Chain A
């Protein structure tokens, strides 16, 4: 049973465009929602994270939008660049235990 559902599986965006990746969860006990970025041959690295007490968090070109009532959150990459081409994972965890549940990943390709 997938605790966090992620879509799309793959995404192709033109340079300068907006990339949007969506995730949904069921467990209302989740209270920490990070996004990880992974380049080929490397481990995932934390990109940006949000807690459910805010609806949006922005860091540079990366924004998380969070909808608590719909149990959905999304990653927006503004002005997408070829260097953003990577696999992105959303995740969720509960404060008790620090166990993370990951989405299935989105392979993003930004075309120059």
Chain B
């Protein structure tokens, strides 16, 4: 079955370090998204991509970057981790058009 795999599931890092969260999908979807989930805020869009070499900023993109070198992967990089970036991060993918999102099981990141 097609799926989205996120790794690691849990990560603890120190302030100022660079961190990369992996996302790999086997749906063969063109669209991929990164969200962060925080209590009281729901899911907020960080970055998204509509295809290889395409990346776009979402509503909370400061301090994050992504790259899309193939269809299957969209890694999320925190350039210099901050305590405010402690959160649960979800990767999602979708087909073109107004199609539903398929989510991974998330990465819980703690920045100390």
* Interface, chain A (partner B; CB < 8 A): 6, 9, 31-32, 34, 36, 41-46, 49, 89, 93-95, 98-105
Contacts and interface: CB of A to CB of B under 8 A. Distances in A.
Interface string B98-109: 111111111000
Given A99-B48, A104-B40, A44 B105 contact: no
B31 interface: yes
A98 B96 contact: yes
Nearest to B43: A102
Given A34-B100, A98-B31, 19 more contacts: A31-B98, A34-B101, A36-B101, A42-B106, A43-B4, A43-B90, A43-B92, A44-B90, A46-B100, A95-B97, A98-B94, A98-B96, A98-B98, A99-B45, A99-B58, A100-B33, A102-B35, A102-B42, A105-B42
Interface string B1-37: 0001000000000000000000000000001010100
Given A89-B43, A99-B48, A103-B42, A44 B96 contact: no
Nearest to A96: B98
Nearest to B31: A98
With most chain B CB atoms within 10 A of its CB, the pick from A9, A41, A42, A100 is A100
Give the top 8 A-B pairs by smallest Cβ distance, nearest first. A43-B103, A104-B42, A102-B43, A32-B98, A46-B100, A102-B42, A95-B98, A43-B105
